[in-house]
Chains A and B, each alone.
Chain A
Amino acid sequence: GQNIDQPTEMTATEGAIVQINCTYQTSGFNGLFWYQQHAGEAPTFLSYNVLDGLEEKGRFSSFLSRSKGYSYLLLKELQMKDSASYLCALQGGDYKLSFGAGTTVTVRA
């Protein structure tokens, strides 16, 4: 299995920064995805990392270190609408995705 681990819950204040970590144990994979899922809605694509390093998209950034088996999603300038679950997923060699259980982020005023 992929053994993908994420914290279950995180709470942060509006305007702050939150870092969601994702660790995994696998012998190889194509890339790593992050999805956002608001309660009762479908997951929506946020980012994809295939190479080590940081990918920045506005307020959201994602980082991958293959040698350390580690990724993180960084959310800056938090807004109330960022309250959601964030799903880490590994893309295997067959292009299938294996998901972590997700991290629920609550943004407080």
Chain B
Amino acid sequence: IAGITQAPTSQILAAGRRMTLRCTQDMRHNAMYWYRQDLGLGLRLIHYSNTAGTTGKGEVPDGYSVSRANTDDFPLTLASAVPSQTSVYFCASSDSQGGADTQYFGPGTRLTVL
């Protein structure tokens, strides 16, 4: 069982280009999340999905969009990348059945926008 996979591992992107970061989980978790991690700022929530077919905005959603067509996949799209979107992006999932609802993280995508 792989858990959560993300692709690509890293990417250098020209400003203005469109980019989709992929995230797939095989744990049948209901909820999925996208975070960005920047030095000194910690992890910040971009978008989330409580269940397939629904999405919501997190703390820093501007410039990003997501979709949740099925339980396993939760892609994050940058429609027109800007240098301030240079960051490490983590996808996470949780069972969302009450209790601790622990989030489990993917390995991350390091994105550089030039």
User: Which residue numbers of A lie inside 8 Å of B, CB to CB?
Assistant: 31, 33, 41-45, 48, 50, 87, 89, 91, 95-102
> How many cross-chain pairs have Cβ atoms below 8 Å apart between A and B?
43
Number of interface residues of B (CB under 8 A): 22
Across the interface, B58 reaches (CB within 8 A) one of A91, A96, A102, namely A96
CB pair A97 B42 closer than 8 Å: no
Interface residues of B in 39-69 (CB under 8 A from A): 40-45, 48, 58-59
Residue pairs across A and B with Cβ atoms less than 8 A apart, 25 shown, are: A41-B107, A41-B108, A42-B106, A42-B107, A43-B43, A43-B90, A43-B105, A44-B105, A45-B103, A45-B104, A48-B100, A48-B102, A50-B100, A87-B43, A91-B101, A95-B96, A96-B48, A97-B45, A97-B103, A98-B59, A99-B43, A99-B44, A101-B40, A101-B41, A102-B42
